[in-house]
C-alpha cells in the first residue's frame, strides 16, 4: 500500500464513510482509517452474548437522508428498513398510551385522556411538520460561514429565503422551537400530562437537560425531521441492525475504490506551516494527503489529535469548553421472553412489543430525573426506552428468545462510572421490572455502556452520542463554533465531516455529504487556479 493519498478520513463512522464515498466517486484516491476492528462508529451491529446480536449503540433509523441512500445505492448493498405498526408505547402506573399507527388512531388514543388534545393533535402535527421541513431543507446545505465573505453572504441569503417566505404562524413556531423548553412549547398545544410526556420524551433523548430546560424543544424537533420509506417523521428498524447500514456504506465505498483500514488509530494530525500534511498512526506509521477529513468529534480532534500550537488561542479556548456529555447510558440485554406489562398484560408478541417502549411516565418524572442526575449523578427513577428489534428481525436472537436495547437518559457524564456502572445497570433493570414484573428474571445476559464506556469504545468524548450538545450555541453555523460551521477547520486542508458539524448527531449521513461537497468545491477552485497560472 502507498502512503500517499488525495484524502485521508480519520474514522470510519457512517459520516466518514459517506464523505469517503463522495470524494472517491469524484475520482480522488481515498483512505479511511478506523480505530476499531469494525467500521460504523456508533452505527454497528455486534454479538454481545453467544447467539445474540444487536445494534451496539444507535438502534433505530429515520434521519438518514434519502439523497445519501440513493447516491450510495444502499438498497443494492443490502439496506432495508422495516416500519413499525405503532411508534411508541408508554406504560404509566395505571394506564398506557400508544402513539402512531396513523393520525386517526393517535387522535382516538389521545381522546381517552383529553378530547381537546385529540382535536389539537392534527394542528400540532401539521405545524411541527412545517418546521421540520425547514430542517429537512437545510440538512444538506452548508451553513453560511460567519466572516466568510461574499459567498457566505449569498449562502446565508439563500438559506434565509425559505424562512422569510414562511407564514407568520410557522415563523412563530420556529422561534418557539429554538428558544423554549419542551414543557413551555407543549403547554401551548396540549393540556393532558400523558399526551405532553409522549411528545416531550424526544426532547430529552441525547440531551442532558430536563423537559423544562430552555432550548429543549429543539431536540424534540431534531428527532422528527427524518422519514422511513417515504413516510415523514417515522422511525424504523434496519434489518440486521444499524451495522447493516454501515456495512452497506462500506460496500458502496469499495465500489468506488476507497481503501479502508481497520485497527488503524490516528494519533496526530501532521501540520506544517499551517497546512495539514497527513496523519501519524498510533503505531508510528505516517500517511500523507493534502486533505484530511476528521469524522471524529471536535472535542477529540482538537483536544487530542491536533497540536494546540497549531491553533490560535481563542479557538483553543473555545474547543476546551466545547460542550459534550449527552448523559446517556446504553445497555443491550438478551431475553428469554418478552416483557409482560402490568398495564397491558401478555408475554405473547403483540404490537406494543414491536414499538419503542418508553418509561417516562409524566413531565414531572422527566424533570425529576434531570434534577436527581445533577444532584446525585443519576435518578432513582430513570428514563428508559426499550426497543426489542428481534420482534421484527429474526437475524438477531435464537428462535423464541429476544434482544433488547435499553436507551437511558439523564446520567451525569462526570460520575466515576467504573465504580457505579453495575449498580446503575441493576437500577435500570429494576425500573423496567416495576412496569413488567417478569423482566428482571428474563435477562440472560447484559452489555453495559455507561457514558465512560461510550467514550472508551466509540471515542465519544463525555459519552456524547451527538459529538457535542445540540444547543442553540452549538448548532448550524455555530457547529462546532462560529467561523468554522462550513466543515473547514482553522488549519488549511483539514476538514470536519462528523456529527459535531451541521446538522448534528444522528445517523443522517448529512455532515459527511456536506463536507465532501465543500472539499470538492475547494479542490475545483484550486484546480482552476492552477490551470490559470500555467
Ligand atoms: C448510544 C447511542 C444511541 C444512539 N441512538 C441513535 C439512534 O437510534 N438513531 C440515530 O439516528 N442516532 C442515534 N445515535 C446518534 C448517532 O449514532 C451518531 O450521531 C452517529 O452515528 C455518529 O456518526 P459519525 O459518523 O458522525 O461518528 P461516529 O459514529 O462516532 O464515528 C467516528 C469514528 O471514528 C473512529 N475513531 C475515533 N477515534 C479515532 C482515531 N483516533 N483514529 C481513527 N478512528 C477513530 C470511531 O471508532 C468511529 O468509528 C446514537 C448514538 C449513541 C452513542
Q: How far is CA 40 from CA 220, 239, 316, 431, in A?
A: 25, 15, 29, 31
- Closest-lying ligand 1 atom to the alpha carbon of residue 36: 47
Check whether 477 has a pLDDT greater than 90: yes
Check whether 420 has a pLDDT greater than 60: yes
Average pLDDT over residues 394-409: 98
Instruction: Give φ, ψ of 237 to 5 degrees.
Output: -110, 130
Question: Residue 212: CB within 6 Å of ligand 1?
Answer: no
The three state secondary structure string of 323-347 is CCCCCEEEEEEEECCCCCECCECCC
- Reported as a pLDDT band with limits 50, 70 and 90, residue 317 is very high
What pLDDT does residue 148 have? 62
- Is 505 within 8 Å of 303 (Cβ atoms)? no
Question: Residue 299: CB within 6 Å of ligand 1?
Answer: no
- Encode pLDDT of 437-448 as tens digits: 999 999 999 999
| DSSP codes joined into one string, 93-158 | SS-EEEE-S-HHHHHHHHHTT-HHHHHHHHHHHHHHHHHHHHHHHHHTSPPP-TT-HHHHHHHHHH
Question: Residue 42: CB within 6 Å of ligand 1?
Answer: yes
Distance CA 327, CA 72 (A): 33
What pLDDT does residue 518 have? 97
Closest CA to 501 of 523, 471, 468, 473: 468
The model's pTM: 0.96
Check whether 533 has a pLDDT greater than 60: no
Check whether 150 has a pLDDT greater than 80: no
Question: Residue 58: CB within 6 Å of ligand 1?
Answer: yes
Q: Which residues make beta-bridge pairs with 270?
A: 278
Question: Residue 499: CB within 6 Å of ligand 1?
Answer: yes
Closest CA to 267 of 218, 213, 310, 307: 307
Which residue has a Cα nearest atom 3 of ligand 1?
58
Instruction: Give φ, ψ of 35 to 5 degrees.
Output: -70, -40
What pLDDT does residue 435 have? 98
Length of the chain: 534
The full set of domain ranges for the chain reads: 7-81+240-323+464-533, 85-234, 325-461
Element (H, E) at 9: strand 7-10
Distance CA 41, CA 245 (A): 11
- Encode pLDDT of 48-75 as tens digits: 999 999 999 999 999 999 999 999 999 9
Q: 14 CA distance to ligand 1 centroid (A)? A: 7
What value, to the nearest 5°, has the Cα angle with vertex 424 and ends 423 and 430? Answer: 90
Question: Residue 34: CB within 6 Å of ligand 1?
Answer: yes
- Look at strands 7-10 and 402-411 and give their pairing: unpaired
Q: 294 CA distance to ligand 1 centroid (A)? A: 12
Q: 9 CA distance to ligand 1 centroid (A)? A: 14
Compute how many other C-beta atoms are within 10 angstroms of the C-beta atom of residue 534: 4
CATH code of the domain made up of 7-81+240-323+464-533: 3.50.50.60
- Look at strands 7-10 and 30-33 and give their pairing: parallel
Distance CA 237, CA 79 (A): 11
Q: How far is CA 206 from CA 164, 411, 465, in A?
A: 31, 10, 6
Task: Name the residue of 56, 226, 268, 295 to mutate for ligand 1: max ligand atoms within 8 A of Cβ.
Answer: 295
Distance CA 110, CA 186 (A): 14
Residue 85 burial by Cβ neighbours in a 10 Å radius (0-12, 13-18, 19+): middle
What pLDDT does residue 230 have? 87
- Closest-lying ligand 1 atom to the alpha carbon of residue 505: 19
Residue 449 burial by Cβ neighbours in a 10 Å radius (0-12, 13-18, 19+): buried
- Closest-lying ligand 1 atom to the alpha carbon of residue 12: 49
Question: Residue 11: CB within 6 Å of ligand 1?
Answer: yes
Task: Name the residue of 9, 11, 299 to mutate for ligand 1: max ligand atoms within 8 A of Cβ.
Answer: 11
DSSP 509: -
The three state secondary structure string of 385-454 is EEECHHHCCCCCCCCCCEEEEEEEEEECCCCCHHHHHHHHHHHHHHHHHHHCCCHHHHEEEEEEECHHHH
Give the cell for residue 445: 445476559
Question: Residue 506: CB within 6 Å of ligand 1?
Answer: yes
Distance CA 440, CA 429 (A): 6
Question: Residue 389: CB within 6 Å of ligand 1?
Answer: no
- Encode pLDDT of 486-512 as tens digits: 999 999 999 999 999 999 999 999 999
What pLDDT does residue 530 have? 72
Task: Name the residue of 296, 502, 504, 516 to mutate for ligand 1: max ligand atoms within 8 A of Cβ.
Answer: 296
Whole-number average pLDDT of the chain: 95
Question: Residue 338: CB within 6 Å of ligand 1?
Answer: no
3-state secondary structure of 273: coil
Average pLDDT over residues 316-323: 98
Q: 452 CA distance to ligand 1 centroid (A)? A: 14
Amino acid at each position: 500500500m502507498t502512503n500517499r493519498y488525495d484524502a485521508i478520513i480519520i474514522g470510519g463512522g457512517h459520516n466518514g464513510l459517506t464523505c469517503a464515498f463522495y470524494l472517491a466517486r469524484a475520482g480522488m484516491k481515498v483512505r479511511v482509517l478506523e480505530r476499531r476492528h469494525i467500521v460504523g462508529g456508533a452505527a454497528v451491529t455486534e454479538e454481545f452474548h453467544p447467539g445474540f446480536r444487536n445494534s451496539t449503540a444507535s438502534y433505530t433509523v429515520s434521519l438518514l437522508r434519502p439523497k445519501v441512500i440513493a447516491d450510495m445505492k444502499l438498497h443494492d448493498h443490502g439496506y432495508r428498513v422495516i416500519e413499525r405498526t405503532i411508534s411508541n408505547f408508554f406504560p404509566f402506573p395505571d394506564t398506557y398510551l400508544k402513539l402512531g399507527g396513523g393520525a386517526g388512531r393517535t387522535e382516538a388514543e389521545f381522546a381517552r385522556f383529553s378530547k381537546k388534545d385529540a382535536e389539537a393533535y392534527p394542528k400540532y402535527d401539521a405545524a411541527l411538520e412545517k418546521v421540520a421541513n425547514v430542517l429537512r431543507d437545510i440538512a444538506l446545505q452548508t451553513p453560511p460561514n460567519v466572516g466568510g465573505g461574499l459567498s457566505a453572504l449569498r449562502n446565508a441569503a439563500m438559506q434565509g429565503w425559505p424562512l422569510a417566505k414562511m407564514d407568520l404562524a410557522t415563523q412563530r413556531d420556529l422561534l418557539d422551537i429554538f428558544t423554549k423548553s419542551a414543557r413551555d412549547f407543549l403547554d401551548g398545544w396540549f393540556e393532558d400530562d400523558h399526551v405532553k410526556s409522549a411528545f416531550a420524551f424526544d426532547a430529552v433523548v441525547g440531551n442532558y437537560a430536563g423537559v423544562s430546560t430552555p432550548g429543549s424543544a429543539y431536540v424534540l424537533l431534531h428527532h422528527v425531521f427524518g422519514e422511513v420509506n417515504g413516510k415523514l417523521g417515522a422511525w424504523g428498524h434496519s434489518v440486521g441492525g444499524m451495522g447493516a447500514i454501515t456495512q452497506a456504506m462500506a460496500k458502496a465505498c469499495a465500489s468506488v475504490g476507497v481503501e479502508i483500514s481497520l485497527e488503524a488509530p490516528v494519533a496526530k494530525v501532521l501540520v506544517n506551516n499551517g497546512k495539514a500534511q497527513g496523519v501519524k498512526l498510533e503505531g508510528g506509521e505516517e500517511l500523507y494527503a493534502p486533505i484530511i477529513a476528521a469524522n471524529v468529534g471536535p472535542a477529540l480532534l482538537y483536544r487530542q489529535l491536533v497540536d494546540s500550537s497549531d491553533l490560535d488561542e481563542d479557538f483553543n479556548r473555545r474547543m476546551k469548553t466545547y460542550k459534550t456529555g449527552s448523559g446517556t447510558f446504553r445497555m443491550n440485554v438478551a431475553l428469554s421472553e418478552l416483557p409482560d406489562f402490568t398495564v397491558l398484560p401478555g408475554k405473547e408478541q403483540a404490537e406494543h412489543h414491536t414499538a419503542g417502549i418508553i418509561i417516562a411516565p409524566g413531565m414531572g418524572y422527566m424533570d425529576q430525573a434531570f434534577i436527581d442526575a445533577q444532584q446525585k449523578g443519576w435518578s432513582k427513577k430513570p428514563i428508559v426506552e426499550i426497543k426489542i428489534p428481534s420482534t421484527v428481525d429474526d437475524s438477531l436472537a435464537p428462535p423464541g428468545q429476544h434482544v433488547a436495547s435499553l436507551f437511558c437518559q439523564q446520567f451525569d457524564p462526570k460520575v466515576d462510572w467504573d465504580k457505579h456502572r453495575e449498580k446503575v445497570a441493576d437500577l435500570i433493570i429494576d425500573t423496567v421490572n416495576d412496569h413488567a414484573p417478569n423482566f428482571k428474571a428474563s435477562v440472560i445476559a447484559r452489555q453495559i455502556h455507561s457514558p465512560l464506556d461510550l467514550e472508551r469504545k466509540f471515542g465519544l468524548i463525555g459519552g456524547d452520542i451527538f459529538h457535542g450538545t445540540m444547543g442553540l450555541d452549538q448548532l448550524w453555523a455555530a457547529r462546532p463554533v462560529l467561523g468554522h460551521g462550513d466543515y473547514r477547520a482553522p488549519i488549511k486542508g483539514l476538514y470536519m465531516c462528523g456529527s459535531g458539524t451541521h446538522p448534528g448527531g444522528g445517523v443522517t449521513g448529512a455532515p459527511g455529504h456536506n463536507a465532501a461537497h465543500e472539499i470538492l468545491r475547494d479542490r475545483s477552485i484550486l484546480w482552476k487556479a492552477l490551470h490559470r497560472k500555467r
